[in-house]
Each structure stands twice: as structure tokens, then as C-alpha cells.
Structure 1
Amino acid sequence: MLKLFRFYSWLHRLGIPLLPKLLYGVNRILFAVVLPPTAKIGRNVTFAYQGLGVVVHAQAVLGDDVYVGPQVIIGGRAGEKQVPVIESGVLLGAGCRVLGPVTIGRGATVAAGAVVVKDVAAGSSVAGVPAKPMPV
């Protein structure tokens, strides 16, 4: 799934018009993942269960060594032009939502089912709806 993404993303950057869209559709059908070729995905990113149910905004940025659980949404918010930035070493639990112009700091953990609408400090853990820092 991720190798296919990297291939069609590379084709998109080369300016090839049709093939990246076709391969994006194949990725969406085979793996039930919405991963547009314009998203920036770092090295060693892991999508649990081959990205089952994951939706990533076309302009989102994921750093290196990020773990993305199943059913995660990384997307925009109505009325906002900016999208999430996920820094390196972040763990996104199953079913969490990261919405709008937020930054999740390096090494942070987002609990399963959390809804993140504000920035998350590096190394912290958040949970809940909306997500709030958890005591250590």
C-alpha cells in the first residue's frame, strides 16, 4: 500500500496526469485507504492493517516513524485552509481524528478515539473528545 503510494506520488511529481489517479483509485479499492499523491509522508511510517479505513488530507504532512492506527482521519476543518502536521515519532491510536490546522509534536501519543482540534505538545499524550493532555 505504501509502496504503491510512493510510486504514484512520484509519478504525480513528474507531472504524469492519468496514471497517478488510476493507481490512487487502485490503492483506495484494494486497501480502503484515502492517500492522495500530494500528501507528504515521511520514512518508516506504519499504517496498521495496511491503512484500513485511513483518510489523509491531500496537503497533510506526516513525519518519519509515525504509527497510524486503523480508521484514523487526518483532515481539514470547514473554514480552515491549513491542515494537520504530524511530526516524527507520533503514535495515532485507532479511530482518532486529527482535524484542522494543528501540529502534533514529536513523540506525542494520541489515544484511540480521540478528537484532536488543538496543538499537541511534543512527548505528551492526549485522549478524549476533544483531546486533552493525560497525566503521567
Structure 2
Amino acid sequence: MPRAARPLAEHYGDLVRASLIEARPAGLHTRQLVAATRLKKSQVVLGVRQIRDVAAAEHLTPIIYTRKDGYLFSDDPADWIEYEKRQFREILGRLTRMITGTLDPRLARYPDDEWARLAVAQLTGVRATLAQLTK
């Protein structure tokens, strides 16, 4: 019986993961991963996504990204926490802009809009939680 083909993203993830493990403790930027894996940039991006979605949890190797070092597998929990806080700050910024740029003006114009009021009420709680996680 022929073996079923693995999804391409899983294959790309394996190649990216192997390159990052080989580079440890250093990291690799996207262009370096392109060179190391001989994949296209879009394929490297899919590979990183596959690592984040599946492989990191399977192999217990959190992947982080820093501007200085690129993508890397760090064994230092302080690196993980700093990366997580940066991600939460980014999400908080996007959520805040959604509230102040879309929902607040909508409520100012239509104060009885039940859906917008519900959205603002719910998102205000999420916003407060994210603010705490970034500290």
C-alpha cells in the first residue's frame, strides 16, 4: 500500500525546525532559513506557522522571534515570557485600535446599538486582561 503524502506545511515545518535546532542556541532570520532549507520565503513562513500550530507542542520546544536573533528555540523561560508579553502588547494595540477607531465612534453615533454595546463591554474585559499580561 502506498504511503500517504504528508501535508506540505508539515514537511516545511520539519525542515525549518531542523535548521533551527542545528543553529541552536543562535536563531535564524527568514532569509537565513530560506538559505538553510532551500525553501521559498512563503514556504518558510508556512513552516514556521506549522511549528507554532503543532510541532512546538509535540516536541516541547517553544519557538520565539526576536528582532536581533530571528526565530529560535530558547531554553530560557525569561525569553519565552518576554516574547509572550510582546505578543500580548501587539494584540492589545490592535484591540485598542478596534475599540477606539471603530466601536467607540459607532456607539457615539448610534448609542442604542445593542450589538456594539455588547462588543465594547466584552472587549473592555479582554483589554484589561491583556493589559495585565503585558506587565
Looking at secondary structure, tell me which structure has more helix per residue.
2
* Structure number with bigger Rg: 2
TM-score (norm 2): 0.27
Q: Which has the higher contact order (CA 8 A, sep 6+)?
A: 2
TM-score (norm 1): 0.27
